[in-house]
Amino acid sequence: MEIPQHVAIIMDGNGRWAKDKGLPRIKGHKAGVARVEEIVEVAANSGVKHLSLYAFSTENWRRPESEVSVIMCLLRLYLRLYTNSLHRKGIRFHFLGDIEGMPEGIRADALALEIATAGENGMVFHLAVNYGSRMELVNAIKKCISDGLEVADINETTVEERLLTKGVPPVDLLIRTSGEQRISNFLLWQCAYAEFYFADCHWPDFNKAEFQKAMESFASRERRFGGI
Ligand code: IPE
Ligand code: IPE
Ligand code: MG
């Protein structure tokens, strides 16, 4: 079976999952966080080399402060809790997003987790937090200018080298849960030739079997990259 090298997931539907159960949205975020470890493990065991999970977008700051602060607390808890388990599985952690715009505590914990797992050579787990593709592209263009590049030097390689995903292969499979069929500012450049898979279930219900269904769907696709 053809295995995607890079899988990206838009983990959507925590709020609706909770609403369906008559619970506050916060409970949905808790259930969503609990799902992450299982999916990281199944992806690594399936032979995926890079897994990018979209946890919080640059636009998600527009949500009520009470919800944002719960998400930040859960994030911090997670970053601390799973250091050992990532280590055991040989998984390298990468914070994918504008880390400067994060609260100090999270910044420190994320960097600590990156450092603690820097020597691992299994799958790379990119956690997208305070991530927005437009911001990433604007920053890459700014870097081209501040690095003194001439117009003639600006090409796909020089732009790519200035993205937050520098050195990471493009996304092969993009999964979004919860039935929504949009990209919501996630990895626009990197998804140029990605295969899309939309799961109807909400993120807290996206289990190992659901992940495998997405992988099987990917294996059945015919990719052309503009050729015939
Ligand atoms: C995804 O679930 C998690 C984040 C964006 C932080 P949502 O919170 O977007 O859940 P819905 O889409 O409102 O159901
Ligand atoms: C995308 O989900 C961001 C994450 C899953 C982190 P949203 O719930 O924020 O996206 P929209 O607003 O429905 O497009
Ligand atoms: Mg949503």
Report pLDDT for 83. 85
Q: pLDDT tens across 60-98, in order?
A: 999 999 999 999 999 999 999 988 899 899 999 999 999
Report pLDDT for 196. 98
Determine the Cα–Cα distance for residues 90 and 94; give it in Å rounded to an integer.
Answer: 13
Q: How far is CA 48 from CA 3, 39, 41, 107, in A?
A: 7, 11, 10, 27
60 catalytic per annotation: yes
Closest by alpha carbon to 74, among 38, 106, 116, 42? Answer: 106
Report pLDDT for 100. 97
Q: pLDDT tens across 163-201, in order?
A: 999 999 999 999 999 999 999 999 999 999 999 999 999
Ligand with an atom nearest the CA of residue 31: 1
Determine the Cα–Cα distance for residues 161 and 144; give it in Å rounded to an integer.
Answer: 10
Closest by alpha carbon to 192, among 159, 150, 149, 216? Answer: 159
209-97-142 Cα angle (round to 5): 140
Report pLDDT for 150. 97
Report pLDDT for 193. 98
Ligand 2 in contact with 11 (CB < 6 A)? yes
Report pLDDT for 84. 87
147 catalytic per annotation: no
Q: pLDDT tens across 121-158, in order?
A: 999 999 999 999 999 999 999 999 999 999 999 999 99
Q: How remote is the CA of residue 9 from the centroid of ligand 2, in Å? A: 11
User: If pLDDT is split at 50, 70 and 90, which confidence band does 218 have?
Assistant: very high
Averaged pLDDT for residues 20-28: 98
Exposure pattern of 31-42 as b/e (b: 16+ CB <10 Å)?
A: bbbebbeebbbb
Report pLDDT for 180. 97
Q: Which residue has the tokens 């992988």?
A: 215
pTM of the model: 0.98
Report pLDDT for 12. 98
Ligand 1 in contact with 130 (CB < 6 A)? no
C-alpha torsion angle, residues 159, 119, 128, 160 (rounded to 10) = 10
Q: pLDDT tens across 103-112, in order?
A: 999 999 999 9
Ligand 2 in contact with 55 (CB < 6 A)? yes
Report pLDDT for 82. 84
Q: Please give the single-letter amino acid code of residue 126.
A: H
Q: Which residue has the tokens 């898979």?
A: 197
For ligand 2, what atom is nearest to the CA of residue 60? 9
Ligand with an atom nearest the CA of residue 180: 2
Q: Are 101 and 59 in contact (CB under 8 A)?
A: no
